[in-house]
Structure formats: C-alpha cells, structure tokens
C-alpha cells in the first residue's frame, strides 16, 4: 500500500472521528471547536484527546509530505532550484496532503467565528507550505522532525 493511500485512510478516520465528536460530545462547544482546531486544550479529557489527534494529524501530514520531498531533494539540489520552482516541482506530490489537511480543519469550523478560523487556517497553510518546501537536506532526520514539532507547537501556543 502506498504512503499516500495510507495517509488518506488516516485522514478519513480522523475526519470520521471529528464528525462524530462534533455530533456526540456535549462538552465540545462552539468556542472550544476553534481551540481544538488550532490551539491547545487540556480540559475536559475527551476534548483534549480530540485536540491531540488533530495535532498529530498536522504533524503526520508534514512529515509524510517531507518524506515524499526527500525522494527528489537531491535532484533539485544539483539544479539549484529556488523556492517557487521547488514548490512547482513538488506540487503534484504535496497537493494531496495539503487538501486533506484543509478538509480535516474544515470539520471543526462553525458559523460564529468563521472569519477568524479562516485567517488562522490561512496562516497554518502558509506555515505548512514553508515547512514542507523548505530545503532541509543538510539536517539529519531527527532534527527535521523536532523542527516540525516545535513549529507546530509554537503556532498552536500563539493561537
């Protein structure tokens, strides 16, 4: 099974969890939906676990896309491609991951804070694109993983 197919199955399961949580969790109020989607929450436990699932999904989407990028990283390194052309080369590989991230975050949108959530989602997409498209060929894998985790953590703390 390909990596992209496994990720889409994971995205479907996450979307199903978010859909069912939105319907069945009484403690998931409209205000907490935005925090679960883009912030950090610690109480109540079920909402905190839902938040952890969304955070892990964001992390996994970036890591899977980065691993796809590693397959053509050396080719682009020798060609000395700039960021814009690099993104165009990665476009076909990354678009599936980015669409799934957008769809997952759309499950927790609500009508009360739609504009704020859209602005935060736009900021998250920009961060996602930079983390995926940033050339990290000189860094070891563990530093890449830590860098992605720290960037997601800082983004969520600031929101």
Residue pLDDT, tens place only, 2-34: 777 888 898 899 889 888 888 887 777 777 777
Q: Is the pTM of this model over 0.75?
A: yes
Q: Which two tokens stand for residue 27?
A: 């403690």
Contact in structure between 159 and 127 (CB atoms under 8 Å)? no
Alpha carbon separation from 13 to 8, 17, 19, 41, 140 (Å, rounded):
9, 6, 10, 21, 31
pLDDT, residue 28, reads 73
Instruction: Name the region of 80 (left: φ>0; alpha: ψ -120 to 50; beta: rest).
Output: left
pLDDT, residue 86, reads 67
Contact in structure between 144 and 54 (CB atoms under 8 Å)? no
Alpha-carbon span 148 to 48, nearest angstrom: 21
Helices (H), the chain: 3-24, 30-38, 45-79, 83-106, 114-133, 141-158
Residue pLDDT, tens place only, 94-141: 788 888 888 888 877 777 777 777 888 888 888 888 888 776 767 777
Contact in structure between 36 and 27 (CB atoms under 8 Å)? no
């Amino acid at each position: 099974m390909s990596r992209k197919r496994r990720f889409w199955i994971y995205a479907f399961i996450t979307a199903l969890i978010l859909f069912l949580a939105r319907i069945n969790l009484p403690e998931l109020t409209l205000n907490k939906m935005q925090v679960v989607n883009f912030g950090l929450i610690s109480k109540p436990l079920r909402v905190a676990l839902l938040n952890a699932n969304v955070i892990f999904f964001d992390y996994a989407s970036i890591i899977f896309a980065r691993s796809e990028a590693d397959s053509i990283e050396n080719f682009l390194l020798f060609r000395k491609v700039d960021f814009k052309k690099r993104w165009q080369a990665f476009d076909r590989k990354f678009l599936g991951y980015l669409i799934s991230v957008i769809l997952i975050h759309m499950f927790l949108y609500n009508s009360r804070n739609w504009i704020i959530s859209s602005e935060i989602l736009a900021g998250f997409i920009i961060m996602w694109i930079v983390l995926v498209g940033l050339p990290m060929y000189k860094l070891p894998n563990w530093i890449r993983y830590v860098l992605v985790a720290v960037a997601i953590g800082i983004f969520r703390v600031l929101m």
